[in-house]
Amino acid sequence: MAKTPLRVSLVQGNTRWHDAAANRAYYGELVRSLSGQSDLIVLPETFLSGFTNELLGNAEGMDGEGVRWFGALAVELGAVVTGSLIIRDGEKCLNRLIWAKPDGSHEVYDKRHLFRMADEHLRYAAGSRRLIVELKGWRICPLVCYDLRFPVWSRNRYDRAAGRFDYDLALFVANWPAARRYAWSNLLRARAIENLSYCLGVNRVGTDGNNIAYAGDSAILDFLGQPLVELGAQEQVVTSTLDPASLALHRERFPAWMDADDYTIADSRAASSAAVCGPRQSQ
């Protein structure tokens, strides 16, 4: 399927701490303003709870109310809606991105790189599979927060047999603290430039229950790392249209992918599989 222009919406909100019902109401109102205006609506990481290790009471199964609500929202709006939730799978918890489709189906990506500086690796299990999804002819790679710091995992390669790139848009949902906002902005640019793709990141604003401040800085960048959209530190909902023709022209004129190194990724995530879903242990 040939790519057509893609309308992408950033929903940069102030997530309510440990209050799924309040967040469903809050983000539902923000997202419904986009009815008929967007193809892809992107919310922050763990937008129903905030980024927390208090998993008891915040985690739910894939048959839970949050996932059902998320799927119904995609159907109602006729657009893909994505963001991450805390999901319980047996004895494990996952920071799981849900890719909810307007036909009522969904796909998932489990965050691979767990933020050890906040003990995420002790409470969550890591994912091992990268997800590539298709929308209006675009191939999209959705990732979560700390994944942004690991360029090998997000590397975009050209499949000569298939005659296509892995993806055309890299997407990061995040709870990225204001103290590291310079890294956030510059790493988003690097991922766009090195992968010859559009790149977007959606972050939250406000202060969470751990007294951590977030500056937003959500953005959509083109394949040169130049901003199409840059948000500030307040609640904002913004839509931009991605142009497939300019992306194709850049890849033709600047085929850096032809000189890329070949490699394989060894799965070194087994250690985190011991993490048990439950309340945070005292330190």
Active-site option among 60, 92, 93, 111: 111
**Nearest to 130, CA basis, from 212, 195, 60:** 195
Q: What is the Rg, in whole angstroms, of the alpha carbon atoms belonging to the chain?
A: 18
Task: Say which of 93, 145, 199, 277 is annotated catalytic.
Answer: 145
- Based on the residue annotation, tell me whether 3 is a catalytic residue of this protein: no
Tell me whether residue 45 is one of the annotated catalytic residues.
Answer: yes
Reduced 3-state DSSP string for 70-91:
HHHHHHHHCCEEEEEEEEEECC
Confirm whether 145 is a catalytic residue: yes
Which pairs count as long-range contacts for 185-189, CB under 8 Å and 24+ apart, including other chains?
Answer: 185/217, 185/219, 187/148, 187/149, 188/148, 188/219, 188/221, 189/221, 189/225
**H or E segment at 193?**
helix 181-195
Q: What DSSP string describes 109-178?
A: EE--S--GGGTHHHHSPPP-----EEETTEEEEEEEGGGGG-TTTT---EETTTTEES-SEEEEE---BG
Q: Beta partners for 93?
A: 88
Active site residues: 45, 111, 145
